[in-house]
Structure 1
Amino acid sequence: MLKIVLYIIGGIILGWLIYRVIYLRKKKRQYQDAFSKTFIDSEINKPKLKTSYSYAYPSFEITFQNEEQLKLAEKKGLTKEFESKIQKIHKNIKDFEIDRVVYFTWEGRPIVTT
């Protein structure tokens, strides 16, 4: 009887792990798709996307080649467009704050400490 219970618990854990891997891969594809579709503009050199997780929430760091590229992307509305696409992906999370999870920067940007 104990073996059966252990097999059931093991199966549930394995099923949950498989679900999480599939879910995270799907989200990663959605993030990459949102990024690629947003920054396809030929006037802007495509920035780099770094995705990580903090407290079970995704976070995004978009790094441009220089400050001018970032300002051009902001002027064209691309940064807001990317934020909008990410917000739409996570519309079911009520306390998802887009301004806390997306960070735009450029290569060589000085680190400001307070």
Structure 2
Amino acid sequence: MEKLPKISEAEYEVMKIVWEGSPVSTNEITDRLVSDTDWSPKTIQTLIRRLVAKGVLSYEKQGRMFFYTPAVKEEEYLRRKSSSFVDRYFHGDFAALVSAYLDSEGLKKSDVEALKGILAEHEGKN
């Protein structure tokens, strides 16, 4: 998928369910979201249709049931989303993003250790 379509926060909630357990039926998606949100089944079906129209979900009909699978991997979506976020709000400067986060949120010691591990792992790749 060359250009990633914009996915709303609500559509992202649907995608998380599909990424977690695809293939997933319409009923499974609806049941999960009805219990976790105040959305109606019709709203959820509209979100699913939008995701199919955007090309990020595909489906297969089995009897009277529709089963959905992602057309884009979660890792790819998150990578592109985070990259565009850094580009848009921090002019591509990842260090500025981290600095802004640290200034507003701070990090626990375990977060710092996890980041050090990630940085050490990726240090030799560049």
TM range, smaller chain: under 0.3
Instruction: State the TM-score, normalized to the length of structure 2.
Output: 0.25
More helix by share: 2
More strand by share: 1
Instruction: State the TM-score, normalized to the length of structure 1.
Output: 0.27
Bigger RCO of structures 1 and 2 (CA < 8 A, at least 6 apart): 1
